[in-house]
Amino acid sequence: MSSGQHEPSRQGQEGIRHSTKSLWVRLVVALLLLSAGAAAAASLWLNQLNFASWSEHLRAMRSPQPAKSEAAHPDWVAAAPGRVEPASGEIKVGPLELGRVAEIFVKVGDVVGQEHLLVRLEDGEARARLASAEAQVVSRQQDRDDATSTPAGGDRRRAEDKVAAAEGELATARHLLDRLSGRGGGNQVLPAQLAKARAAVAQAQDQLKQEWANLERVKAVNSEAVSRLDNALTIARADLTMARAMLEKTRIRAPISGTVLQLPVHVGETVAPLPERPLAVLGDLSRLRVRGDMDERNAEKVHVGQMARIRSEAFPDRDFAGKVTAIAPALGPARSSAPGPRHQNDAAVLDVSIELSNDTPLLPGMQVDVLFLASKPEP
């Protein structure tokens, strides 16, 4: 067979292949178009079907969610940091003059009464001046009593003698209390003995006040001149009073009844009258309170009588009840931070006192959070 006969057959085969290829292309394009249309139709149907639910979901995502603390405790209206302390406050006791510690009579945790001797400073010089002043008074009083003439102003003399006697009684009562509350009393001193000694000191103080008031009344009524011997005795007695006061400055006593919370001092240490360096810190632990530092923007949300919830990291699973008992009339430095000297650039806050129940396990010095409840003030 000639080449001319085979050429039409090859052309026919190529035409068939081209037609087949074009058919497959049309089928693929059609399938793609059908798929796209079906997807669009399905998407449109789903959107129409779930439009309401999707809209609600989007609105829920865009709306602000409440904080966990607010959701768990929706009953409080304001919060503030605070610090636990005794209801009496922390009483810092320090020396009135420069001196060296000679003896310490207490330790941290001891319960002491008012006028209890805590620390004694070295007192050799004060004792010497006291002895000299006492001798001068004895000499001047003997000179006056030995005078043959009776000077004018007998009432004033008697009033001055009573004042001097009352001062002596007070010094004696304090000396006895020092022996009982200090190391001289040992461990055998009964609480009743200490109470009796403190009562004697208080009685002597009251008696001295009465005698001084009587002397002032006598001076106002009797303006007659006194003798030279009476004047000399008055000066000697004034020196004796000053000597007793100097000796008293070497005795650091408890100004209140309470517990020794801190005692940052050692025997032999030189101490000075610095507020930031007390010899002892006392507090009445029979009742506790929280001092909260309220931001001024929340001042109108807090009032006396309002209930509060106290939270501490030491007790993460417990809340403690409290009650607002006092609100400062003006802003002041924050107190909830660590104790120490305050500065003018400290943040100003409103001091709020919250009373705690007597059975609370919270300890003085603990940092807490105070949540003020949305309650009405008590009538």
* Token pair of 102 as six digits: 């000679």
Tokens of 378: 């008590």
Architecture of domain 89-119+256-283: Beta Barrel (2.40)
User: Contact at 8 Å (CB) between 364 and 283?
Assistant: yes
pLDDT tens for each residue of the chain, 379 residues long? 444 444 445 545 555 555 555 555 565 555 665 555 555 554 544 454 443 443 444 344 334 444 444 455 458 899 999 999 998 888 999 999 999 999 999 999 999 988 899 999 999 999 999 999 999 999 998 888 887 555 555 778 888 889 999 999 999 888 888 888 775 444 556 778 878 888 898 899 999 999 889 888 887 776 666 678 888 999 999 999 999 999 999 999 999 999 999 999 999 999 999 988 999 999 998 889 999 999 989 888 999 999 999 999 999 889 999 999 999 988 888 776 555 554 444 568 899 999 998 788 999 989 999 999 986 544 4
Interatomic CA distance for residues 33 and 65, integer angstroms: 45
* Whether the predicted model's global pTM rises above the 0.75 cut: no
List of E strands, the chain = 76-86, 91-93, 99-104, 111-112, 117-121, 251-253, 258-262, 270-271, 280-283, 288-294, 307-312, 315-333, 348-356, 367-373
Number of H helices and E strands in the chain, helices first, is 7, 14
Classify domain 120-255 by CATH architecture. Orthogonal Bundle (1.10)
As assigned by CATH, the class of the 72-87+287-373 domain is mainly beta
Q: Where are the domains of the chain?
A: 3-62, 72-87+287-373, 89-119+256-283, 120-255
